[in-house]
Structure 1
């Protein structure tokens, strides 16, 4: 699975969790922060790869 697909999947799950939170349905609050962290890690790795290829 490439990084774009992984980010898409994580963002989709994040939206679902935020909808559940807004509608006061049952959700796991710790997952929101965990998913945001995973997305930022993937983006940071991608940015590092791009900057290294440009040098």
Structure 2
């Protein structure tokens, strides 16, 4: 699984959790923050590697 696919999967899961929260179904609110953090971390690492100089 590549980086973009992983980010897309996490975003999908995030949307489903937000929908559950809005519809007042049983949600695990801590997962929302955790997934946001994971997405951010993956993007940071990807951008760091993308723009690093290879000497």
Same fold, TM-score > 0.5, yes or no: yes
Which structure's residues are more often helix, by fraction?
1
Task: Give RMSD over aligned pairs.
Answer: 1.5
In the alignment, structure 1 residue 39 sits paired with structure 2 residue 39: yes
Q: Which runs of 5+ in 1 are unaligned?
A: none
The equivalent residue for 1:11 is 11
Secondary structure of the 1:11 match is helix
The equivalent residue for 1:20 is 20
Distance 1:10 1:53 in 2: 29
The TM-score, its normalising length taken from structure 1, stands at 0.93
Distance 1:35 1:48 in 2: 20
The TM-score, its normalising length taken from structure 2, stands at 0.93
Distance 1:11 1:50 in 2: 21
